[in-house]
Structure 1
Amino acid sequence: MSDLRIRAALPGDLDTVLAFWKDAAEGTSISDDRDGVARLVARDPEALLLAELDGELVGTVIAGFDGWRCHLYRLAVHPGRRRRGVGSALLAAAEERFVRLGGRRGDAMVLRRNETAHHAWRAAGYSPEEEWRRWVKPLGS
């Protein structure tokens, strides 16, 4: 996918992202609303990463860093674009961001019932920590 473009979301992207998540993300969250996503983009303008192919939104990931830990949320790829490297490209961009900011380990919150996501996270090098219900990966090593 040489035409794949990864970029930070802009305030004008929010409605498109929310609509995308309804189709591409497994489950929803209490913060999956315009105000919640707008707060994220205002607080950390580089945290919400978008993958675009020919101008179409095909994937997202939130790469949040609080100065201590790196958190990954909302890795979502359009169902018709899965298994083509979109998720891997998004995770690589998120991990590069974390390393640039001094992060040392990525944590991903993944629904237990989302077996498809478990395979994707494992393929990306993350391991489940059952005690915490999160997936982790050391960064920058």
Structure 2
Amino acid sequence: MGEPQFEIREMTIDDFPEVHKLWMTIKGFGIRTIDDSKEGVERFIKRNPTTSIVAEADGKIVGSILCGHDGRRGCFYHVCVAEAYRKHGIGKTMAVAAMRALKAEKINKVCLIAFKDNEIGNCFWKSVGWTFREDLNYYDFTLNEENITNFNK
């Protein structure tokens, strides 16, 4: 496959079936039963209508970033590119588009979480200039035990 032609655009809830199908192909992806359902993603997009991104190539969605902010800091979730479309600049182009959308909303910093064993993702983020933080600890607290994370194999 030569260089794929791709288009980057804002994600809408109408993209959910194709985006979810893509997520299910990504090895190691943690999919939550509530947050990553259609209703959960719709809630997220309504709160952040201009910042989530998809990449389309060959008539299908081949990449996505759920991106939102709290008014102070942006965050990337579920950043992925279909395996057959990697190493063609799609991930970097999506990240830049999402960061531009955050800057348009006056957000000055963005973060993401990459699982330690996600070697491909960690190498990617370091290669495009993101800083690995060693000066902090990350904590979370589960408010809804029904929101179970399942990992793709």
Task: Report the TM-score, using the length of structure 1 for normalisation.
Answer: 0.85
Structure 1 runs of 4+ with >3 Å offset: none
Root-mean-square deviation (CA), in Å? 1.7
Unaligned stretches of 5+ residues in structure 1: 134-141
Match of 1:119 in 2: 123
Contact 1:40 1:47 in 2 (8 A): no
Distance 2:133 2:114 in 1: 11
Contact 2:51 2:102 in 1 (8 A): no
Unaligned stretches of 5+ residues in structure 2: 139-153
Mark the CA change 1:36 to 1:122 in structure 2 (over 3 Å): closer, same or farther: same
Task: Report the TM-score, using the length of structure 2 for normalisation.
Answer: 0.79
1:1-141 equivalent positions in 2, closer than 5 A: 3-24=5-26, 26-30=28-32, 31-130=35-134, 131-132=136-137
Contact 1:51 1:58 in 2 (8 A): yes
SS in 1 for 2:132: strand
Larger Rg: 2
Q: CA deviation at 1:42?
A: 2.2
Contact 1:5 1:52 in 2 (8 A): yes
Contact 1:25 1:76 in 2 (8 A): no
Deviations 1:25-62 (A, max 9, x none): 63223222111111112222223210001321110011
Structure with the greater relative contact order (CA < 8 A, sep ≥ 6): 1 or 2? Answer: 2
Aligned-residue sequence identity (percent) comes to: 25
* Structure with greater helix share of residues: 1
